[in-house]
Structure 1
Amino acid sequence: MKMCVQRVITPNGVLENTSLIIENGVIVAIELAGSEPVQAGTLIPGYFDTQVNGGGGVLFNQQPDAASLDKLARAHLCFGTTSMLPTLITDGEPAMARAADAIAEVIAEDHPTIVGVHFEGPFLNVAKKGVHEAGFIRHPKDSELAILSRQDLGRVLVTVAPDNVDVGFIRELVAAGVVVALGHSNATYEQAMAALQAGASGFTHLYNAMSALQSREPGMVGAALNHSDAYCGLIVDHHHVHPQSAALAIKTKTAQRTMLVTDAMAHVGTDLTELAFFNTVIERHGDKLVTPEGTLAGSCLDMHTALLNCHRDLGFTLPEVSTMASHTPACFMGKEEHLGSIAVGQTANLILLDDALNIETIWLRGNAVANGEITL
């Protein structure tokens, strides 16, 4: 297949009037279109979301099975997310095991958008639990380490609080090929830095549910901003983080270490307004999700809106925000060889934006997608 586009965002810059040659779902050549007619608009890589609790009416915790995962994935594909990590919020060990089995099933079937799993907890700090259920927060056991270390789950991301696990546990996870992020924690700067030295490589939803940057106590936020190699997830829905705090983080970390995440709940892609969640209810008020007490409870954000918020409201260039939505999360998860950018050898997961930056067409493995259609 040959695709000729007016503008293409690549790791080597923005190319004009460019042709992509796609074979078997992979980009095999990028060249000048010459005199051939081109499609108007801008071609960017498909989005990669590392924190997806739900979508399409499905919450992963409540429906940990392959069919529900596919429904969740379809909902986010409509907004350009062509790679994702379904995310299990803090839960009991049986739920972790069921979630792992469901992920293993879709990975074995080579699901086109699900590339692994994110266990957000349960090894967190109750003081920074957010909406996570306090009764499930605990110290890790060997049987839980075995679940997290399974080799049939694709890429595995685990969020831990460095003040609730020791550095030895982090080393064990990293040795098993698990990507470790720090979050939901009251850790000191020193504890966070020790966790990074032990192999943790990122921070889950920067600023939220973590010890703040203060004049005499840098906290986890200080560690995240000061450690040049650490990746930081950022929820840019203008509710979780003040726009200027988000902008400061991006300027400090750069687009190469800041990744956009949605922290999406079941509401995305639906008109759902209320969702039972453990011992509470999550209510939707406009584009904000909260418990009856007013605690933020994930989001109804999609990745395309996150990208637009960074571009239009925070002033970052389209190449920068595209990098944060695609290439940087792929690098964080060790998938950059085949995912996250438009280059020879990359999977042809692509989004064509019109001049108003609306999504015009989405391609998944080189095939145009309609209404979240996924062909396995």
Structure 2
Amino acid sequence: MTLKAISAQRLFDGVKYHDNSALLWEGTSIKAVVPITQLPTDIEHQHFEDAIIAPGFIDIQVNGGGDVMFNNDLSPSAVDTICRAHRSHGTAYLLPTLISTTPSDIQKALSAIDKAIEERIVGVLGIHLEGPWLNQEKKGAHNSELFYSPTPEQLANFNWLTKGKTLVTAAVENISTDSLKWLKHKGIVVACGHSNAKADELTDEKMQLVDGFTHLYNAMSAFEGREPGAVGTAMLSDHTWCSIITDGIHVHPKSFLLAHKVKPEGKLLIVTDAMASLGSVTNQFELDGETIRVVDNKLVNSRGSLAGAHIGMDESVANVIKWGICEQEALKMASTYPSIAMKCEDLGFLKPNYRAAATVLNTQYQSQAVLVDGNLY
């Protein structure tokens, strides 16, 4: 294997900054971060001017990209297209996200991701099943006719991933404690989302089985003075992480800043919730027989309801910095915190023996290059 390096004026390793430094890797593993002046002269090296190197961005909610919706094409080639579209926006790894569908299609999706990982499709980290175990009162763009509350026996009928990570978003109030325990025993990360729960429905017993909340504020019961709802419970639950869409459309910047102030450090992380329109030629796509279009940079269905987002991770990071979050915190929200949320022990930091994964951004936080498993794109 050959020793390789990328360098920039600034490098953030997930903990601290290094000036005029280089990231060295061999194969798929990071070897060191060193000053550029200490680089061996005989290695493959690329320098990025006016740039910062950060841990590779991880997006745990991606419905589509490059004119492909995962729901519409449950194949490894579709996963590859989606990963390529998001890589151009700084995303090193992602979870292709399956919107509520039939049990047979859930199994097809699981099999497609297993095969994509086996075929080493670049950037696929696992799968996110967003439904169909949701609350019809907060269905969003999902087809509520597909919703049901799964029993442990029904969950056991699926052939779950043998490699990679699995995230399940469910309306916890509609899921039995036994089913939640089954998912946790299987090693699946569980998030509460598309929930209309009252605070007392999210019991302490259930909350101990919940790892996070999906797209905070959106498609969940709101915080009110006499009823904290899912939003209030998410804010008060210190052990859970909250993902949040930072396109400035789904969540007001001040609501984002409030969540950041309330949640413990490391428990608020960026997702795009991006659809097929990212990297699209047509700026529209089909979902459950309905056409979704980009209107004024928003994705809307025929009723004018929001239907996912039209944004990449690099712009998402740029937004939260513009809203007042310091750069290093914004970078961690896009890389370090998602890696911890998904229990990825070899991602989220630029340290020796971690996976060789990094995102290179210019001074406007636009993606310049992405390093994934030791390959630079």
Q: CA deviation at 1:193?
A: 4.3
Q: In the alignment, what sits opposite 1:321?
A: 330
Cα deviations across residues 342-361 of structure 1 (Å, max 9, x unaligned)?
Answer: 12222221122223333222
Matched letter for residue 178 of structure 1: I
- Please show how residues 1-376 of structure 1 align to structure 2 within 5 Å: 1-34=4-37, 39-40=48-49, 41-142=51-152, 144-146=154-156, 150-194=160-204, 196-254=206-264, 256-312=266-322, 314-335=323-344, 337-369=345-377
Check whether the contact 1:117–1:153 (CA below 8 A) recurs between aligned residues: no
Matched letter for residue 29 of structure 2: V
Q: CA deviation at 1:170?
A: 0.7
* SS of aligned partner of 1:135: helix
Matched letter for residue 353 of structure 1: L
Cα deviations across residues 300-320 of structure 1 (Å, max 9, x unaligned)?
Answer: 1111111111111x1111111
Matched letter for residue 9 of structure 1: F
Distance in 2 separating the partners of 1:268 and 1:147: 34
Q: In the alignment, what sits opposite 1:373?
A: none
Distance in 1 separating the partners of 2:186 and 2:56: 28
Cα deviations across residues 215-271 of structure 1 (Å, max 9, x unaligned)?
Answer: 111111111111112100100111111111011111222551111001111111113
Matched letter for residue 10 of structure 1: D
Q: In the alignment, what sits opposite 1:372?
A: none
Distance in 1 separating the partners of 2:206 and 2:150: 19
Cα deviations across residues 10-36 of structure 1 (Å, max 9, x unaligned)?
Answer: 233111122322111211112233476
Distance in 1 separating the partners of 2:366 and 2:274: 20
Mean alpha-carbon deviation: is it higher for 60-69 or for 351-360?
Answer: 351-360
Query: What is the Cα-based RMSD across aligned positions, in Å?
Result: 1.8
Check whether the contact 1:203–1:232 (CA below 8 A) recurs between aligned residues: yes
Q: CA deviation at 1:364?
A: 1.9
CA 1:217–1:119 in structure 2 vs 1: closer, same or farther (change >3 Å)?
same
Q: CA deviation at 1:144?
A: 4.1
Cα deviations across residues 135-178 of structure 1 (Å, max 9, x unaligned)?
Answer: 10111145641255624252110011112111221111000100
Matched letter for residue 158 of structure 1: V
Matched letter for residue 311 of structure 2: L
Check whether the contact 2:223–2:230 (CA below 8 A) recurs between aligned residues: yes
Q: In the alignment, what sits opposite 2:43?
A: none
Cα deviations across residues 104-152 of structure 1 (Å, max 9, x unaligned)?
Answer: 1012223331011000011111011011001101111456412556242
Distance in 2 separating the partners of 1:153 and 1:287: 36
Mean alpha-carbon deviation: is it higher for 141-150 or for 90-99?
Answer: 141-150
* SS of aligned partner of 1:163: helix
What TM-score does the superposition give when structure 1 sets the normalisation length?
0.93
* SS of aligned partner of 1:61: helix
Check whether the contact 2:11–2:22 (CA below 8 A) recurs between aligned residues: no
* SS of aligned partner of 1:173: helix
The count of residues paired between Structure 1 and Structure 2 equals 367
Cα deviations across residues 253-306 of structure 1 (Å, max 9, x unaligned)?
Answer: 255111100111111111323322214321211310011211110111111111
* SS of aligned partner of 1:334: coil
Structure 2 unaligned regions, length at least 5: 40-45
Q: In the alignment, what sits opposite 2:42?
A: none
CA 1:278–1:237 in structure 2 vs 1: closer, same or farther (change >3 Å)?
same
What TM-score does the superposition give when structure 2 sets the normalisation length?
0.92
